[in-house]
Structure 1
Amino acid sequence: MENLLLLHGALGAAATLTPLAQAMQGQFKVYALDFSGHSGRAVTQEPFSMALFVQDVLRFLEENQIQSTHIFGYSMGGYVALHLALHHPQRVRSIYTLATKFAWSAEAAAKEVKLLNPEKTAEKVPAFAAALARRHHPQDWKQVMRKTADMLLHLGNQPTLTAGNLPQLQLPVQVAVGDQDTMVSVEETLWAYRLLPDARLQVLPGTRHPLEHVAVSRLTEEIRQFILQVSV
């Protein structure tokens, strides 16, 4: 049975992928992990970064004696997966990304960071703030949000996935995006698709950015079909 590792998005947690993990059980050996500082994991002094989260994945693979795996990465999780494959290609069999942002610049990062102000979030979207507090307990969700904002600002100035290195990814990748995603454009997803040597492009109709707005049954079947195709 093939291994499948699920990677969550920014401010997320492995638990946000539980419905998908449950749906994929029996078809694959399904794993999920929490990145450093998320879902109650210790928030270290080290800044959030792609390198830090890649180390989280490598550690998880070693602890679970997984030599290589297919990866589904939602949003930031897809970016981490591709970064991992660039530096440790032997550990990754294929990658399916959903709603992963590829067009990083100082302007794009500044736009995203405006949505990552803990004080404004607590004031204007208290239900979301409460959900983050529960998700990251006993850690301070506000600190998680601030460190995420800092990471995005750094990514805006120094993207780790570029037109120079994406063509180096010699593995099957499916990049998927919703046609109603206001955070990730079809155009930037198409940009990445054209640079990847062995890529497939998928635009999901009537789909917004939040993972909970994607039908689990549809996503399960799309991932299953992709892995079956590339595992032949």
Structure 2
Amino acid sequence: MSYADVNGLRLWYEEHGEGRPLVLLHGGYGAVETFAPILPALARRRRVIAVDLQGHGRTADVDRPLRYESMADDVAALLRHLDLPGAEVLGYSLGGGVALRTAIQHPELVRRLVLVSTPCRRQGWYPEVLAALAGQDEQAGEQMRGTPTYQLYERIAPRPQDWPQLWAKSGALLRREYDWSPEVAALAVPTLLVFADADSIPVSHMAEFYGLLGGGHRPPGAAGTARLRPLSRLAILPGLTHQEIPTTPLLPRLALPFLTHQLR
């Protein structure tokens, strides 16, 4: 467990297990503890590097906005700091957006990618979810005091008084429009998309995202051949919500074979 000084930020990361490196990126207002229920299963097969993103967990905020792009640069700088080209990256929700931007901006550093409950454009969320995201601000953060999420932050954050600031910056990030569809369509990194069937993202967007990665298409003359299998994969897990999916034991059971096996 340590800090890496990257991009003017003291970025917290901790390592578990041995093997090929796998970077874990948590969701909004979370920390490395998000993955505690599945970490042992992952660490049995991988050198897991779990990161607290800017302003989250044990990583103190700095004087810059929260942006997917800058947090992706932080992850890339950490990989270079640890001399880990060709790492695997698994990100959930906010962390999924950071993981995707890392693969887009630094493809030479990412071997395979697992995106959990992550859209590739802002309008990929359900409209009511977008409305909730747009309402996140300091006042909403105050209303979250006393929740388990706040209690974790209060316990581990270098400056617990920054809680309202985290909500203000997160709200500004989540209100920004983005559409990474063209960059996703050009992505060469094999990617596993994982969603819950009761996710905050409609199935139509899941299929759209998968299509941009080459899924759901039948090449001419490919019937009955391995060419029907794209390098990327799509999984929709039954009976789960957006909040439940990062802790389900089904996630490592899906992710590890994808990360390990020859895809074609």
**8 A contact 2:22–2:90 mirrored in 1:** yes
Which residues of 2 match residues 135-214 of structure 1 at below 5 A?
135-139=156-160, 140-154=162-176, 156=177, 159-162=178-181, 164-181=182-199, 183-197=200-214, 198-211=231-244, 214=247
**8 A contact 1:12–1:38 mirrored in 2:** yes
Secondary structure of 1:36's counterpart equals coil
CA distance in structure 2 between the partners assigned to 1:32 and 1:84 by the alignment: 15
CA distance in structure 2 between the partners assigned to 1:120 and 1:88 by the alignment: 34
CA distance in structure 2 between the partners assigned to 1:168 and 1:160 by the alignment: 13
Tell me which of 44, 52, 56 is aligned to 2:74.
56
**8 A contact 1:5–1:72 mirrored in 2:** yes
**CA pair 37-98 structure 1, distance change in 2 beyond 3 A:** same
User: What is the aligned partner in structure 2 of residue 113 from structure 1?
Assistant: 134
Structure 2 unaligned residues grouped into runs of 5+: 1-18, 215-230
Q: Residue type matched to 1:202 in 2? A: A
CA distance in structure 2 between the partners assigned to 1:143 and 1:196 by the alignment: 36
User: What is the aligned partner in structure 1 of residue 252 from structure 2?
Assistant: 220
How many residue pairs align between the two structures? 225
Tell me which of 37, 41, 45 is aligned to 1:27.
45
Give the superposed CA RMSD: 2.4
**CA pair 6-91 structure 1, distance change in 2 beyond 3 A:** same
CA distance in structure 1 between the partners assigned to 2:40 and 2:130 by the alignment: 34
**CA pair 221-147 structure 1, distance change in 2 beyond 3 A:** same
Per the TM alignment, residue 135 of structure 1 is displaced from its structure 2 partner at its CA by: 4.9
Per the TM alignment, residue 152 of structure 1 is displaced from its structure 2 partner at its CA by: 1.2
- Which deviates more, 88-97 or 205-214? 205-214
Q: Residue type matched to 2:180 in 1? A: L
Percent identity, aligned pairs only, is: 25
CA distance in structure 2 between the partners assigned to 1:66 and 1:73 by the alignment: 17
CA distance in structure 1 between the partners assigned to 2:22 and 2:65 by the alignment: 28
Higher-Rg structure is 2
Secondary structure of 2:193's counterpart equals strand
The structure with the greater share of residues assigned to strand is 2
Q: Residue type matched to 2:251 in 1? A: L
Matched, 1:74 2:92: yes
User: CA offsets per residue over residues 6-57 of structure 1, 9 Å max, x none?
Assistant: 1111111122223322221131111111111111322112100012111210
Secondary structure of 1:16's counterpart equals helix
Per the TM alignment, residue 160 of structure 1 is displaced from its structure 2 partner at its CA by: 5.0
**CA pair 122-102 structure 1, distance change in 2 beyond 3 A:** same
Structure 1 unaligned residues grouped into runs of 5+: none
Secondary structure of 2:27's counterpart equals coil
The structure with the greater share of residues assigned to helix is 1
Per the TM alignment, residue 173 of structure 1 is displaced from its structure 2 partner at its CA by: 0.6
Secondary structure of 2:210's counterpart equals helix
Per the TM alignment, residue 88 of structure 1 is displaced from its structure 2 partner at its CA by: 1.1
Per the TM alignment, residue 131 of structure 1 is displaced from its structure 2 partner at its CA by: 4.1
CA distance in structure 2 between the partners assigned to 1:11 and 1:34 by the alignment: 10
